Structure 1
Amino acid sequence: MGTFHELWQWHLTGIIQGIASSFVCMIPAPIILGNWFKKKTGMAVGISAAFSGLVGMIGSSFLGMAIPAFGWRVSYVAVGIVSTVLVLPISLFVLRCKPEEMGLLPYGAEDVEQRAVSDASAPASGENGITLKELLRQPEFYIAVGAYWTSVSCAYLNSFLTPCGIAAGLTLQAAAMMTSISLLGNMSSKLILGKISDSLGIIRTFEVSIALAFLGHVLLFVGSPETVMAGSLFYGVTLPLSSVMMPLFCRIFWNGETYSTAYAYSTMVGTLLGAPFNMWFGTFYDITGDYRLTIGVSAAMLIMLTFLIILEGVRLKRAKSGKSPSQAR
């Protein structure tokens, strides 16, 4: 981007980045961590996601200092070079998709095997993969797509935190701090949610995280200088809904190679459905001159997400009681 001179180049790059980010950032990490961790998967995913936020903070700080000193073109080129040097060698020569490639077992594999032996009536976990045609027949796939769509759509509100702060009466400097405060809530909640999901359970943890994110939306909606600052902290919990909770949520449905395929499709479809919200959120402000409609729509998406999580919780309870979802209907 540091060499661009035409508007179409930015548009094309935006499309490429949007597609590539799913394959580079969102999809691989949960799949690889799931292969390496059969126990404490939530903590592993949470730590991984938290460090992605930390690197983002460092990168933003670097750009903030580099652009005034060297110009945005040189700074963008430098970021591209540093990213390539850091990511490419590790991906090619260090990272392994499965521990079996190094002659190792996943962490906690022994406990999983013992539970499988002690529960002979447990259903097959679907380790051997699934086709798209088979996936489209599963109600779980549509629940996962809907959950990812709603969670990732809410995340686009993050781009409007600073304007929300200015509209609430904050100075530009104070409003700009809202993004940093949101990142603080983002990073800390990733670690906490990943940890407690291993003990509290994925469904219950998802519900708690949605409640905290909804509180952030309410505080932003009130629109006073005090509430928007606090709201940005709680809003930070919104971002881990898609990066931490959704990968764990999908593990309720699928395992092994089936998980890799199903999670990838769920993520891609959900991202495509949610992409227009970034534009729509800005359009809502242009129409009304107020960010409350944008915040309200994002909060409505959280309510839809809550319904989907509760629905799956009911399905799980019925399955444990010996009824399949179809029998329960």
Structure 2
Amino acid sequence: MASKVQQKNGGFHYAFLMVAAGLAITAVPCAMVLSCAGIYFTPVSQYFGVPKADFTLYFSILNVAMMIGLPIGGNLMSKFDLRVVLSACVAVCGVGCLLMSTFNALWQFYVAGAVMGLAVAPLVYLAVPTLVNAWCVKKVGFFIGIGMVGTGLGAVLFNPIGTALINASAEGWRTGYMVFGIIILVVTLPITLFLVRSHPADKGLEPYGAGEVDDASQNAKPESMTGVPASRAMKSIAFVCLATFAFLITLNQTVYQFIPSYCSSFAESMPEIAQMSGIVAAACMAGQAVGKVVLGALNDRNVKLGLTVGLGGGAIGIVLMWFVPGMVAVLMIGAFFFGFAYACTTVQTTCITREAFGSLDYTNIYSRVSMSGALAGALAAWLLGMICDLPNGFAIMFGLSIAMMAACFLLGLISLKAGKKLPRSSSKSAK
């Protein structure tokens, strides 16, 4: 066994396929169900002749269902074969999109939103960190960042495809949903069924980096076997601070959705800015994609460093967009840097959880932390939309964003410090 592990550490390791599987999960079903949802809001509501809010209610229901589904998904993923759990979730998302292409009443979308929310929650929040934490004890943050990039990449790839399908005919939205469902089932389901494995032992391996002694992983093996039990963690101040962090960082992330509206607000005074709203928003998505990889690598060195760079970059981005709005280049740079704070929502939350509580009961703890983030996701668009409609609403939103990032920085530090003081327990594999 030792020689086999050493050989894998020296070259290709099956853990790399787990990272690729996580990337496929976030790039296809997660991106299609979540990141591409907006392209259907207008055409579907127009088809049914209802206010847009009536149709988008399904997406709010989906977000609430995600919050409910996270602890359920966490329990299932910690107890059962990941192939079964993840494949079932992917299948629900794919079949859900196929069914949505046939719907003729709004209530059907509401039911679909509830069911798909339960299924997509483990995929977008838990799949990548669970796979990476199980399969890697080296470069964990970097690999989580790589896996999480998929939501942004999928949005860049599938939003134009979906839009083209929608615009192709009067009921093009049906074609869009149908094609999305087929792609989810054909591309992702074989990966979760035939590639995913719950643990390295399933392939006769040890985790990537196990046994290596260097600056990045000299303590990797012990950490992978110890941690704070979920029952103890969830009663701690570290957990409360981390859950609050997840809520605020998700609320802050939603500022991205209002960047195009901010640019459009200059339609009369600076029309050239309004015309570039889509490009400015794309710069933010590019920033979050780059940020996920950069923050992942930084977290492998020091979680506090990742926290500082992510939130510091976001604050710089807000300042540039807020106080220097007259130049497209500056707006794009600001949006790009704000993308680093956007990346904190997934990468930083996962890395703080692992650093504070260890890997022993990671999935269960992280699923509970993510519930507060899902709650914020359900409330954020409504709350920030109401703020932006106020006089000087965008200024209020930007000021609130900086305040939330400052609070998140403090909450992250407190969670890390308090979590380190909690007594650890050993996993069964360590006994």
TM superposition score normalised by structure 2: 0.66
Partner of 1:182: 284
Give SS of 2:101's match.
coil
The number of equivalent residue pairs is 313
CA distance in 2, matches of 1:156, 1:18: 18
| 1:245 counterpart (333, 339, 348) | 348
Q: Which residue in the other structure is 2:146 paired with?
A: 47
Instruction: State the secondary structure of the residue aligned to 1:161.
Output: helix
**Quick check: 80-89 or 222-231, which moved more?**
222-231
The answer for unaligned runs of 5 or more in structure 1 is: none
Write the letter of the residue equivalent to 1:157: V
Task: State the Cα distance separating 1:295 from its structure 2 match.
Answer: 2.4
For 1:310 and 1:214, how far apart are their aligned partners in 2?
Answer: 17
Partner of 2:133: 34
CA distance in 1, matches of 2:341, 2:115: 25
Match of 2:174 in 1: 73
Question: Greater CA deviation, 3-12 or 180-189?
Answer: 3-12
Q: What do residues 108-158 of structure 1 show as CA deviations (whole Å, max 9, x unaligned)? A: 111379956999xx9x8237x533xx3332222112211111111111112
1:243-288 deviation line (CA, Å, top 9, x unaligned): 1111111111223341111111111233224531221011112233
| Per-residue deviation, 1:8 | 3.8
Q: Deviations over 1:175-214 (max 9, x none)?
A: 1112211111111111111122222x01121111100011
How has the CA–CA distance of structure 1 residues 178 and 118 changed in structure 2, closer, same or farther, with 3 Å as cutoff? closer
Identify the match of residue 165 of structure 1 among 263, 266, 286: 263
Query: Contact conserved, 1:170 with 1:225, CA < 8 A, in 2?
Result: no
Q: Structure 2 CA distance, aligned partners of 1:83 and 1:300?
A: 39
Give structure 1 regions of 4+ aligned residues with deviation exceeding 6 angstroms. Answer: none
**Aligned-residue CA RMSD (Å):** 2.8
In structure 2, runs of 5+ residues without a counterpart are 1-99, 424-431
Change (3 A) 1:233 1:68: same
- Partner of 1:101 in structure 2? 202
Structure 1 residues 82 and 197: alpha-carbon distance in aligned structure 2, compared to 1, 3 A threshold? same
- Separation (CA, whole Å) in 2 of partners of 1:78 and 1:138: 46
Q: Which residue of 2 aligns with 1:130?
A: 230
- Looking at structure 2, the residues matched to 32 and 146 of structure 1 have their Cα atoms a distance apart, in angstroms, of 25
Q: Report the CA distance shift for 1:136/1:196 in structure 2 as closer, same or farther (over 3 A).
A: closer
Aligned equivalents of 1:15 and 1:235: distance in 2? 31
Instruction: Give the partner amino acid of 2:237.
Output: P
8 Å Cα contact 2:226-2:360 kept in structure 1? no
Residue 109 of structure 1 aligns to a residue whose secondary structure is coil
- Which residue of the partner structure matches residue 284 of structure 1? 387
Output one character per residue of 1:82-116: Cα deviation in whole Å (capped at 9) or x when no partner.
Answer: 11222222112211121111111101111379956
The more displaced of 269-278 and 20-29 is: 269-278
* 1:204 equivalenced with 2:305 (yes/no): yes
Identity percentage of aligned residues: 24
2:237 maps to which of 136, 139, 149: 139
- Does residue 306 (structure 1) correspond to residue 405 (structure 2)? The answer is no
Partner of 1:2: 101
CA contact (8 A) 1:36 1:99 kept: yes
State the shift of 1:228 in Å. 2.8
